[in-house]
Amino acid sequence: MTKNILIICPYPENEVPGQRLKYEQYFEYFRRNGYKITVSPFFERYFYKVLYKQGNYPLKIVGTIWGYIKRIVQIIQLPFYDGVYIFLYVSPFGGPFFERLYRFFSVKVIYDIDDLVFIAKASKFNSMAIYFRGPKKYFYLMTVADHVITCTPYLDSTVRKYNLKTTDISSTINTDTYIPIENYLNDHRIVLGWSGSHSTAPYLKLLTTVLHKLRLQHDFKLLVIGAPVFQIDGIDVEVIAWNEATEARDLRRIDIGLYPLPDEEWVLGKSGLKALQYMACGIPTVATAIGANYRVIETGVSGFLVNSDDEWLENLTNLLVDPGLRRRIGINGRERVEHLYSVRANEPVYLGIFDNVF
């Protein structure tokens, strides 16, 4: 018998990595195993396209009002679904008013929380939004859900203070799409690469001193994927827009993956997604030794974890000059993703939660 499941999420399908590289890539698997999936984003695609651009406040307001209207109308539909899967929140602002209504009228609820969203962080594109957000909705959903899916050990330990029914599932990679690179030779200009967004681009600036020192001894290009504008004086930087259709191919241009992070609590909610994307492509990766990176990367085996500028410089230098090292680390990283962090490896985990709850 087919079970009807409603997915409640902030953004449209195939738009943001937090959704696309978590539960969205399992939809077809769920459908093949007896679930009818209906997706209901708060922000419709047209409104989402302007959400993180400067200005456009009238359209943003209209898009937000429409999202609330849709959520209100949806309340009467909830009892007719076999269950509801909520990612992050039901509505973006205020306290848990809508979350309480959706829990009351839903037969069963799985809650999927990503990052430490209950820590207030403002977007430079919507700076006023922080004053309307309320962390209580996240803690309420943690508490009342029939099951909670987390994405890092730190986040899981936080959620378990409110609900013991949790499963820690990292962001995962479709290894059928992410094809490993083949050329590890030094027969071309080596490309150091980073992939992210406007909100995480400042993290790459943490490597400014390291890259300047590295440039004094070695020639390389820095490829930045996803940040609209990025530059470091004295460094040859190529910026390209993120494109879902070309994402895996763009990543394959990278010879060495960079994943710098600051030492702050917010980072402890990140699942190491950038590192996993690089590793899935067989790209040797250097990452800050913090949070979930400790479980994603076995340092010296499937990548390198570093704590200081000197360690960044040493490991990047070694990878630049030694193609054999890049090959060994890249191949090991790919194998680690296949075994632990691929969609195929985690399909039974997701389906097990669905079967148990719904």
Residue 221: strand pairing partners:
191
Q: How far apart are the first and last CA of the chain?
A: 12
Which CATH number describes the domain made up of 3-171+343-357? 3.40.50.2000
Which residues have CB under 8 Å from 233's CB, separation 6+? none
Whole-structure pTM value: 0.89
Q: Is residue 160 classed exposed, middle or buried when 0-12, 13-18 and 19+ CB atoms within 10 A define those classes? A: middle
Instruction: Give, for all 358 residues of the chain, the pLDDT tens digit.
Output: 899 999 999 999 988 878 988 999 999 999 999 999 999 999 988 888 777 777 778 888 888 999 999 999 999 999 999 999 999 999 999 999 999 999 999 999 999 998 888 886 543 333 434 434 578 999 999 999 999 999 999 999 999 999 999 999 999 999 999 999 999 999 999 999 999 888 889 999 999 999 999 999 999 999 999 988 899 999 999 999 988 889 999 999 999 999 999 999 888 988 999 999 999 999 999 999 999 999 999 999 999 999 999 999 999 999 999 999 999 999 999 999 999 999 999 999 999 999 999 9
Bridge partners (DSSP) listed for residue 183: none
Domains 3-171+343-357 and 191-341 share a fold: yes
Q: Closest Cα to residue 299, out of 313, 308, 291, 287?
A: 287
Spatial distance between the Cα atoms of 345 and 113, rounded to a whole number of angstroms: 21
Q: Give the start-to-end residue ranges of the domains of the chain.
A: 3-171+343-357, 191-341
Q: From the CB of residue 127, how many other CB atoms can be counted at a distance below 10 Å? A: 9
Assigned fold of 191-341: Rossmann fold (3.40.50)
